[in-house]
Structure 1
């Protein structure tokens, strides 16, 4: 009989046994003692272990079994539970932790009454240590179960009611422990409980909005507040200082603002429940005050992300100045200004200034506004926003209007009889304030006593002198100015000088990147985003990545050819940038993985472009860079990867377009590392599920591990059962997942 048929037969028999104990709970002891050690063993099929974990959780949560019977069953289940905690499957771990939460008070009471059972307590301590190690790093569902287990530990390891009239005989707390107990140290147990409570409460103070975890902790606290007076004050003080809406107020991400609204409602519900339960307590008034604050914050809090399309009102603007009126957003989300009013025809006059020459609006208040009052950054933003929103036709029309005004001014000045020709202006290096055509410090064209022509020659209004000689003067003056403005041509730099200058520039750029803080979370703009919209860290990384791939290829080719002619060594600018990016990522890979992802995606895209160009031109393609630098980064980070880096590492693999074979070999090395084996197989499982192009390569490696390495045989078998069941002797699965 095939192994799959054997497993199905066993599951059928086990389900029959479950039906028996559900009808008559007295058979629980016989069934658990007879079959449990066999179905939860490490060499048993995963389906059997999954059934065993589910059966244990169901057993210890059943109300039909007496506490005394549950205590006897708990003593026989310690070893199986300890074995099942080595599983990787989330469903099994959740059931095992749930069972451990149920039996912890039972074992604690048993040890209080049996001072010689050190072996049983040691097994319970091992179970507790394994579960607590998963509290911060396991999968989300497992962490939620761990929170329930921590709540049960705190309840058990803190003092209960001291008044004998209020003591519940079924309650398990630190109060029932004898003072001279040889196994249970009262002070150590209470200190551990307070430490675990601090770990739970820390989530309300670190500024994160992890909704499932925070909700689970919030739901576990009311039992602690009502059942343990010694720690209720600490919990209430933390809850009354927490407001998730304040945490999300500065966030520009819709999801976080939505989560904050949900957490606020949960917090308010729990506080209302606690206020009713302790209506006469000392904290009732403070709880009601905090509930009112939450309601006020909710009224002021908007779940929508604040819009930033409109310019901010400057505090220096006077009330009489109107702001630019914007219409509603178009289909692409851009705001375009309303068309300006008809322009004013400016005629030449003695009062003509640069301001009247270039003013195109008929709004008198806006015309009189002094732009110099605006801060430089605001003026720049307004200018850029206007340039982006204005249509090309409107811009061309405005430029033509200014040209016509200037032409009319020149024609009017040419009709005035000229004065005697002045000597050519003496231009020297220090004459920085000279304005061609004349003009005072305020920008007014000097027309009160003289008219300025287009060539910069002054004509007197009352002079009777002739116009002779002016035509010769203008070309000579223009030639003199052109000669004075000629710049000295700089000599060409040698490849060594270019390389040295590039190194210095790169050093300064990476010093700037290092000093920039990690930007706050922001919504991604999708395919409409620009490469670098701001000079933050991500913007600099994008610029450098594109320079190393596509931006410097032509320049490198020219300089390389020149260096070969002179028989000089030259390291390409692209190689220098790539090496600098590599060293930057290796400096702190845990916080700079996003920079590595940006860079490597640019390398992969550039390799594709180069291959297409080489195919079209029938030339040898350039050396691919993606696999080379991807392998170097992996070789650099693998010696330092830890189990706690699981999320970072899996996210890194998920955002890369291709996984080269050397990287798979590195992950295989992780699988053979006893301390990091789980991380390696988790990475292989992720690649099999979500990276189909490398699935067969991964499964070949896993199959080799299953055949040749007994210490990882069980972990490899779990993957093979799902993707290559025939290798482990199981029948293949059809596309629907059934055998």
Structure 2
């Protein structure tokens, strides 16, 4: 037995050397894989070798070092060994084999699409698929989790992909690549099988059970199906939006199930949030947000603790010993006064502490309770609830009692001999914050100046004596406080600090909820009040245009002196604004409009100041530069469905630079988006008179030189330049002569 163990260890050591070799150079994969397969599937091989072989196969087909074509060639040689390893009983081997099968299933499917006569390969793959699907409900937990990943891959492969040729990924495998007359692959049967497997996965959300690992694995596998397969996305989203684990666990009295429900609710909410961000313009975006709000509401009303139905009956002795004071929340309700706080002997020399000064209860156990042991959230909730329910009369009585105690301490301190007590300074004009206690004695002198300060010692904990509060020396009151002047920051440090601040500001903007449909604020939007996303954009736009001019000037002066380049802070803000808008330009077009209008207005102010004062050097105009950059960023992604967004964007811009007109000309020459380009030109001709002649010059050039758009260009020319197309010029309407 010992010799056998040594031999197995030697073989595994040799196999590990082979693995290191292929990790260094992937060209050795075919030779080493062909040499390893007979060893790991031999009847005489031990379980350690099979376990190593299954792990190596999973690594091979998930490695990014191999191309898809090379993986497909290797997959054809591994079907037999995979079927052999699926007969093992060990969970670790089965998990790796199923993971490997998930990787090679799309490869074999693509191979069969192009090799219609290789029936044997497809029969082997079908046998592997049937074996794995049989373990989906009966296997060990780890095996079932691997089977869920395999089922997800089958559904992706056996359902139609994107139908638009522009959106099709050539590396994607779906029913779309299967020929209609394929002799082996039946499109309808494969799609029906995929829908059946999808129903098996979704049934877990309807059986009322809380199997956390299985449900979590299925939840994590669904986003790829929703985003990649439009044909089944509606079904999946409807099931997810109807599922609420909190509602299932609310009926349970088992702590474990209630705890699992909280975990599943968080996972479900994160997935719905991810899907809502991925399809912010989709038809289900509003419903998903509503479901997220419902989950948050259910979570706030749900407690992990098991509700107790059996309560102890209060006895007569409990009734006598426990006094429950009811506080009314309105002035009309009856108020039961609280008993007066217990009297304490306060004296500066008897060790009186803040604790004894402010303690208003006679319960020794309650007064000795360490509040610092409570979690911060719980302490905050208790404090807020107490402040909301406290009675005004009780609060005033408690404050008066503490004032009386403090006045007694001050009076006692005044009787200490002058030799042992430093002389108190005279009251300053600003020491008028003392208010005598209501109903208290007016003979008690007010606290001396500096009585609101505390002298802390390093070896003390929470027993700061009140006599330290009272016996504050006149020298500490009169001592001047000289603040140390902070060193000036270098331009590099200023830039680093500002970059960190900008990053935090944009993180705040991205976390804000998408603003709902609301009325325009008019001039009210010029001053941010609600601090929503629009307010932050306004602040950043003002900073980039006018708010940092002085700081940028200092930075440029230092850069000129040191012959070094420092990027101005305004340029940093503009670049971050541009990247923010490009992140999702369809929903952030209003932010682009706000920013570019500020840039245009600032350019006008700079030009006006330069005309009025010859000593002022106008800065480089920024509006045309960033307007063209924004347009260059969004034009490659514009679709015909973006008509309303694009036209609204053009309508709210103060000026249309020539570079933007050139971009729209490119749209006109795009066969897919030509209508959008000419629609934009028509809008500019009708409602933007300053650029009308430039637009018509471009349309005229298109009519002369491009036959494929000649008809579209002719429609505009007939209306605005009929003589170009051989029609008589139209008489301008009365009162419209100055419009053109």
The structure, 1 or 2, with the larger RCO (C-alpha pairs under 8 Å, 6+ apart) is 1
TM-score (norm 1): 0.43
